[in-house]
Amino acid sequence: MSVVFQSSLGWVVDACSLIDQSYSRCTRWSEKHKEPVQCHFKRQCFKTIISHYEKKCEAVNTGNVVISCKQNKKRKRKNPELNQGEIDIKDFHEKVRTVILEGTLSLVASARACGYLNTTAEFTPEDNVTFPECGLSALCEMAKQLPLVDNEESETGAQALDGRSTLDLDLFSRVTENSSSSTLVVTLMGEEYLIPAHSAFLLSDFTRIQPLIHYGAKFDLIVIDPPWENKSVKRSRRYDSLPSSQLKKLPIPSLASSDCLVVTWVTNRPSHLRFVRDELYPHWGLEVIAEWFWVKVTTSGQFVFPLDSEHKKPYEVMLLGRFASTVDNSEGASQSTSVVDHRLIVSVPSTLHSQKPCLSEVLKPYIKPTPNCLELFARNLQPGWTSWGNEVLKFQHASYFTMTPAEDKAD
């Protein structure tokens, strides 16, 4: 069960099960014939058992969750004064602290009553899995040396993925679709990937987003996970960041339906939150309607970082906005269920960097029954969704899944 518990405060979700429900039917093509397989995302990736602070500090525990910690060895700051950015972060945290703490305590307690978030198992040798380096962004950079296709048919028409022949596919300048009702396990660029049923994707960077515009689809839900600039990303060089001002160039009004819901993941830097709220959404013509939080806990329900940690917080922010509808919604009013502010999504996070939980289940009440959904700066695919980014297939690589033969099922 992917949504373990739900209340007026938010949801507790099993993020790994949310992924697995996308792969109930999988087909693998091999030497011009297909075979059914069972596919599961490696659950070791969601085995966050020990809180990060348990190894680094003496925990101050309130009985259920760790609120703060005393560092065993504290570095001396050259300048003990807080800078303006740190002051802003502290002020923002104080505003949302009670919402995060009380909501998480209640949701975790309810999830434990359902038999979830009670795991205290230890790591085993099988849990130490490694994955290949993702070279997709480098391939996108190389593809930029090629001219964009001017032919109208090639530029606007999506290309079909059937699993039998993938050598002629142009993944960098045309949207690729799997229109079948089964996940296809196919070889692309010499590597094996899982492409969910009824999904579409475009593998390109910010400068080559035009094929997505020419794709012609209008979306009822758009989720954006921008590669925000920050010191941690710059030091680790995990991915290329994008200046905030560049985000205004995203063609959201051209991609959105009349009452589209837009969800943007924001870091805990108040400057980023202010930018989205005060500049980005108004620039696109969006009205801010809610601020939600993703709270990260261990398999035993502890915060992954102390709530009051000065280094990292155990939560991330999502800002929800909507275009004002100018037409009657004949398919059932997606706005009839008003979006409640300050709701929490509590889950055990992936140990893989920047893998966010899927939002499909929790957003269902706020969009029409058969929505057209889009994710920008995506690193994975979802059934029924269109996804774009320069690492859009990253977590679709076969190395992240276990695959075993399955009994053939009639269509």
pLDDT per residue rounded down to tens, the chain (411 residues): 689 999 999 999 999 999 999 898 899 877 667 889 999 999 999 988 877 665 555 555 555 566 666 555 555 555 667 788 788 889 999 999 999 999 999 999 999 999 999 987 776 766 677 888 888 888 888 888 777 665 444 445 789 998 777 778 899 999 999 999 999 999 999 899 999 999 999 999 988 999 999 999 999 999 999 999 865 544 445 556 788 889 999 999 999 999 999 999 998 888 999 999 999 999 999 999 999 999 999 999 999 999 998 888 999 999 999 997 655 555 554 555 789 999 999 999 998 988 999 999 999 999 999 999 999 999 999 999 999 999 999 999 999 999 998 876 544
Q: Can you give the pTM of this predicted structure?
A: 0.89
What whole-number distance in Å separates Cα of residue 97 and Cα of residue 308? 8
Per-residue confidence (pLDDT) for residue 268, from 0 to 100: 85
- Ramachandran quadrant class, 222 (left: phi over 0; alpha: psi -120 to 50; beta: rest): beta
Question: What does each C-alpha distance from 265 to 65, 280, 317 come to in angstroms?
Answer: 25, 13, 6
Give how far the C-alpha of residue 179 lies from the chain's centroid of Cα atoms, to the nearest Å. 22
Strand partners, 402: 40
- CB contact at 8 A, 160 and 179: yes
Per-residue confidence (pLDDT) for residue 142, from 0 to 100: 85
Per-residue confidence (pLDDT) for residue 105, from 0 to 100: 97
Q: Nearest-CA neighbor of 352 among 406, 409, 290, 395?
A: 395
What whole-number distance in Å separates Cα of residue 185 and Cα of residue 25? 11
Question: What does each C-alpha distance from 103 to 1, 7, 251, 291, 359 come to in angstroms?
Answer: 21, 10, 36, 14, 19
Question: What does each C-alpha distance from 242 to 109, 154, 229, 312 come to in angstroms?
Answer: 39, 29, 6, 21
Q: What is the CATH number of domain 131-293+310-399?
A: 3.40.50.150
Structure tokens at 3: 């949504």
Dihedral, CA of residue 300, residue 301, residue 307 and residue 309, to nearest 10: 20
| DSSP for 174-187, written as a single string | S-EEE-SSSEEEEE
